[in-house]
């Protein structure tokens, strides 16, 4: 029975040439079955001549001189990657990456991580982009899945979520790639020293060119949404954001919103509470009738992120442009306002 110590290469000899890869792996100590061998392949634990293999390579025939390497404890390979991950890799758009942090420009329609309790149920909304797995009815691929896949070849790298934006919000999200970086970044967000600036298209005529929204909000876990609360209400937390009107259209406005706090769905509910629901908003209309403007998602984009790098100690800033759907919405509003 051939033995292949973890992380070591084995050169295929003449006697083993012509064997199916999965059968050859099944004879290894620690495998014991073709099913286990296929699992190793599916989880990226097997390399042939320096190239990572997949489950589709199970029937590959080995040739004399082939180098086979097995990496059992490869980081990120403990669980099978979601189906459709390879096709979804185009959705990961790093705005910045080093060994300690990865800043991604998230497209709309992609969850940051699986919802609590299970992998997220697929929710198809016409006109909103969805990952390939979601469109096929398979368990939904998340941005965290894509980041894990992206860094899986780096030993000791374990991506961790630092903060979140909503599924249908686009823009910047930062992941920590080491535990120390995660602790450092989480502390910044808790102390409100990380700067987050959003662009939002809201309904109506915004009379003040700039201002501050201050509200008390309470998160209702059962309903999975925020609600206005009294300052003395249990669970009530202050939410503060400043806004500036960048462009006023007929019946809508483009705002720049700077978060002072980071409550879930904060901009969406505060815009509604102050009389200007985000265009495309379905949940936080708060008594406002849906207007004539239609959009497939809430028109909200995390455009700028600034924080102190957890290793260098220098403040770094990232800016990403509006996605195509929001560019199209603004172009349409400008044309209608002439």
Sheet holding 67-70, edge to edge: 9-11, 67-70, 46-48, 51-52
For residues 206 and 254, the answer to whether their CB atoms sit within 8 Å is no
| CA 283 from centre of chain | 21
243 φ/ψ angles, rounded to the nearest 5 degrees: -130, 155
Cα-only R_g, the chain: 24
101: its two tokens: 């942090």
As a dihedral over the C-alpha atoms of residue 89, residue 93, residue 97, residue 101, rounded to 10 degrees, the angle is -80
Distance CA 317, CA 80 (A): 35
Q: Is the CA virtual torsion 302, 308, 312, 317 positive or negative? A: positive
For residues 290 and 283, the answer to whether their CB atoms sit within 8 Å is no
Q: Does 166 qualify as catalytic in the annotation?
A: yes
- The residue whose two tokens read 């929710």 is 123
Which candidate in 166, 168, 208, 232 is catalytic?
166
Distance CA 276, CA 201 (A): 9
Distance CA 226, CA 36 (A): 46
Distance CA 334, CA 338 (A): 7
Distance CA 136, CA 156 (A): 33
Name the residues annotated as catalytic. 166
């Amino acid at each position: 029975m051939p033995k292949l110590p973890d992380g070591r290469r084995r050169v295929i000899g003449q006697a083993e040439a012509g064997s199916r890869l999965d059968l050859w792996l099944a004879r290894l100590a620690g495998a014991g079955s073709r099913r286990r061998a296929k699992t190793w392949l599916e989880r990226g634990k097997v390399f042939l001549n320096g190239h990572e293999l997949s489950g589709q390579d199970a029937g590959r025939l080995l040739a004399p001189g082939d180098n086979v390497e097995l990496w059992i404890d490869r980081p990120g390979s403990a669980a099978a990657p979601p189906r459709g991950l390879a096709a979804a890799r185009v959705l990961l758009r790093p705005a910045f990456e080093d060994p300690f942090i990865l800043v991604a420009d998230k497209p709309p329609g992609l969850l940051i991580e699986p919802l609590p309790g299970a992998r997220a149920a697929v929710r198809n909304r016409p006109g909103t982009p969805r990952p390939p797995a979601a469109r096929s009815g398979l368990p939904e691929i998340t941005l965290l899945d894509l980041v894990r896949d992206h860094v899986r070849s780096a030993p000791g790298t374990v991506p961790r979520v630092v903060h979140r934006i909503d599924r249908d919000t686009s823009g910047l999200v930062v992941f920590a790639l080491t535990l120390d970086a995660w602790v450092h970044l989480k502390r910044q967000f808790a102390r409100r020293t990380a700067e987050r600036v959003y662009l939002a298209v809201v309904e109506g005529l915004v009379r003040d060119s700039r201002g501050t929204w201050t509200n008390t909000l309470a998160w209702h876990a059962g309903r999975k949404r925020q609600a206005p609360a009294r300052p003395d209400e249990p669970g009530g937390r202050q939410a503060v954001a400043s806004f500036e009107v960048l462009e006023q259209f007929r019946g809508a406005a483009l705002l720049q919103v700077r978060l002072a706090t980071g409550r879930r769905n904060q901009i969406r509910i505060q815009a509604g509470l102050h009389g200007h629901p985000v265009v495309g908003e379905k949940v936080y209309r708060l008594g406002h009738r849906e207007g004539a403007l239609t959009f497939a998602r809430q028109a909200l984009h995390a455009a700028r992120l600034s924080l102190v790098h957890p290793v260098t100690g220098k403040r770094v800033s990232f800016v990403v442009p509006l996605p195509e759907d929001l560019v199209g919405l603004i172009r349409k509003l400008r044309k209608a306002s002439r």
